[in-house]
Structure 1
Amino acid sequence: MTHLSDPAPLGRFERLLTLWVTLAMAGGIALGVVAPGLVAAIAGAEIASINLVVAVLIWAMVYPMMVGVDFAAAAGVARQPKGLLVTLAVNWLVKPFTMAALAVLFFEHAFAPWIAPADAAQYVAGLILLGAAPCTAMVFVWSQLTRGDATYTLVQVSVNDLIMTVAFAPIVAFLLGVTEIAVPWSTLILATGLYVVLPLIAGLTTRRMLGSKEAINAFSARVKPLSMIGLIATVAILFGLQGQVILDRPLVIALIAVPILIQSYGIFALAYATAWALKIPHRVAAPCAMIGTSNFFELAVAVAISLFGLGSGAALATVVGVLVEVPVMLSLVAFANRTRSSFPETTR
């Protein structure tokens, strides 16, 4: 049998995470209304369309997970290729195309009476960008909350990122029906460095300094709350940045959210059910399904702005994806944790 890592139980604070995130959403919207200057200052702290404040918080989320990465156990990933194959198949052969189909179905047909054709085309474009950008950073948080295997999750994300560097632009260009698309490579490279490479180096350095497994486990327990604090603060900032838009255009936000919700739950169901059918261990199956469900919103937002403009409908659609993602992912984390016993603990 192959056993990659020992999951730790969720603490009381984590079990109440939905409550804290809900309060962060409300607090963020209030902050955006009463302190627009502060929110504007946070929004202006950017390099290559990466918000540095959000980047620091995401780094805080990812670092505790990286401390748990043990490269000595990486050989176990090669003995369990099914989880990686499911992730890649769902992310690149299914997700971009189902998102495009749902976008067209709703905005060119179902919602046509309420949305102008020009606006509908913009929303479709934004949703296509979201569908072609599977998650890079936040999946480490969802993996931790489902007691996923840190080493396997890192491999899944790393391989996914490599494919994204060559597949994102062609897929988006094909689905948008354009011949050239200006992908902000600086954003892609910087985000990968900030959210994967640097936290990984920090985690490996920490493990080497601590030495023993007991010291590593004790340190991991102490820094684990950073992930939750980072997540809550990130949610508050994101909702603060978009608070006025949410208040001014609630109907449009709700309409854009509909295909995103269907896509998110549908993709999770497909990946999770496939993993169950293949008897993939839960610590691999849960992150496997989470990667495709969650989105690399920094890249999607950056490309939408570069192609269509900051105030475009495409940019708004990608932002709605950010707003919808956290509540959706928390509900899926809860579902994954409740269904843990349906999966094998190890691979025979």
Structure 2
Amino acid sequence: MSIFERYLTVWVGLCIVAGVALGHVFAPVFHLIAAAEIAKVNLPMAALIWLMIIPMLIKVDFAALGQVARHWRGISVTLLINWLVKPFGMALLGWIFISQLFRPYLPADQIDSYIAGLILLAAAPCTAMVFVWSNLTKGEPNFTLSQVALNDSIMVVAFAPIVGLLLGLSAITVPWSTLTLSVGLYIIVPVLAAQLIRKALLAKGEAALSRFMAVMQPLSIVALLATLVMLFGFQGEQILKQPLVIALLAVPILIQVYVNSGLAYLLNRLSGEAHCVAGPSALIGASNFFELAVAAAISLFGFQSGAALATVVGVLIEVPVMLSIVAIVNASKPWYERGQAVRKVAAARGDTPFKA
């Protein structure tokens, strides 16, 4: 894991401070940035988000979809968590905590927006950081690659309907035209662009792809940090008035992450899947594609919305929470491999994944 990835929470914290300060000192500049829109698309933010997302998608080899059947147990568990349990579970958690328990402590006019942000966060499975988490758990690389490729393929067609359905169930007005535009701009266009770039670079050899990523990865990081500074520049006044908001928004996110990762891990154990698949499966089921969630929240509800702030809270807690899950997965490996179904499947394969 790179220094940036390991200390992501620190960088986000610095972006909060920088954004709040700059938003207060240079308020007219931030208003000009917010006004730079065409068809409800903020052009500076769109450029930053494409710079964030495309390098991550270039890493994904959609040819890996041919390997899906090799790890059907782990794939099935992760799909269940990502596309049924996580988004619908987050809608429920948002209603319980944001709409009910925490309502007296939150700005009344932002309640629905906070819930919308949590739904957007849960409906976008992680694409990039999953490879880091998988590596830390000694995960099966082919499984991780095929799972990410499958999730990205599903996301193209499922993100908008799931978000629209859950927003509707939460009694939040669904801006369908903006939602559809967001899917096109921040999922379909980046996926197509990334794969065209990947194909062109691979035609020149793996070294060309590696050199390109070495240049683009730092730019992607800068784009992420600049996006966060802009967000907090617009959110600064609200954060200073309501510092408790971030802590309260973190509660349903934390519950979702630990419950989903634990459920995925247990289901893999019950199905007999190997630990090298169960680890990344649990982590893929718990993490989020927060870059996409931030982009969609800004497009749908604006820079100063509670939805945008809720998605950023996901960025803030991503690394420490996921590292804690990595530690649990690694420490519990002996227990996992003592599972009856795991032993049975391993014996059928002729493997010995555990010590008696």
State the TM-score, normalized to the length of structure 1.
0.74
Q: Distance in 2 between matches of 1:214 and 1:188?
A: 32
Give the C-alpha shift of residue 101 in structure 1: 3.0
Give the C-alpha shift of residue 40 in structure 1: 2.0
Give the C-alpha shift of residue 125 in structure 1: 5.9
Say whether the 8 Å CA contact 2:6–2:319 is kept in structure 1. no
* SS in structure 2 at match of 1:161: helix
* SS in structure 2 at match of 1:140: coil
Partner of 2:61: 70
Partner of 2:283: 286
Say which of 312, 319, 322 aligns to 2:311: 322
Say whether the 8 Å CA contact 2:51–2:219 is kept in structure 1. yes
Q: 1:36 and 2:27 equivalent?
A: yes
Range moving further from structure 2, 290-299 or 39-48: 290-299
Give the C-alpha shift of residue 160 in structure 1: 2.7
| CA offset digits 1:226-266 (Å, max 9, x no partner) | 33333222222222221122113334454444334433443
Partner of 1:6: none
Say which of 162, 165, 169 aligns to 1:174: 169
Gap change, CA 1:34 and 1:161, over 3 Å in 2: same
Give the C-alpha shift of residue 326 in structure 1: 0.9
Partner of 2:115: 127
Paired residue total: 321
Counterpart amino acid of residue 329 in structure 1: E
Quick check: which one's helix share is greater? 2
Q: Distance in 1 between matches of 2:61 and 2:98?
A: 46
Say which of 231, 239, 242 aligns to 1:246: 239
Q: 1:104 and 2:95 equivalent?
A: yes
Partner of 2:201: 206
Give the C-alpha shift of residue 49 in structure 1: 4.1
Q: Distance in 2 between matches of 1:170 and 1:112?
A: 23
Q: Distance in 2 between matches of 1:130 and 1:48?
A: 25
Give the C-alpha shift of residue 44 in structure 1: 2.6
Counterpart amino acid of residue 45 in structure 2: V
Say whether the 8 Å CA contact 1:30–1:240 is kept in structure 2. yes
Q: Distance in 2 between matches of 1:39 and 1:291?
A: 28
Q: Percent identity?
A: 31
Partner of 2:222: 229
Counterpart amino acid of residue 323 in structure 2: A
Say whether the 8 Å CA contact 1:86–1:275 is kept in structure 2. yes
Give the C-alpha shift of residue 198 in structure 1: 2.1
Range moving further from structure 2, 248-257 or 30-39: 248-257
Say which of 8, 30, 36 aligns to 1:17: 8
Say whether the 8 Å CA contact 1:136–1:192 is kept in structure 2. no
Give the C-alpha shift of residue 123 in structure 1: 1.0
* SS in structure 1 at match of 2:127: helix
Range moving further from structure 2, 334-343 or 88-97: 334-343
The aligned runs of 1:147-186 (5 Å cut-off) are 147=135, 149-150=144-145, 152-176=147-171, 181-183=174-176, 184=178, 185-186=180-181
Q: Distance in 2 between matches of 1:244 and 1:98?
A: 31
List gaps (5 residues or longer) in structure 1: 1-9
State the TM-score, normalized to the length of structure 2.
0.73
Say whether the 8 Å CA contact 1:153–1:284 is kept in structure 2. no
* SS in structure 1 at match of 2:44: helix
Counterpart amino acid of residue 142 in structure 1: M
Gap change, CA 1:330 and 1:242, over 3 Å in 2: same
Counterpart amino acid of residue 259 in structure 1: P
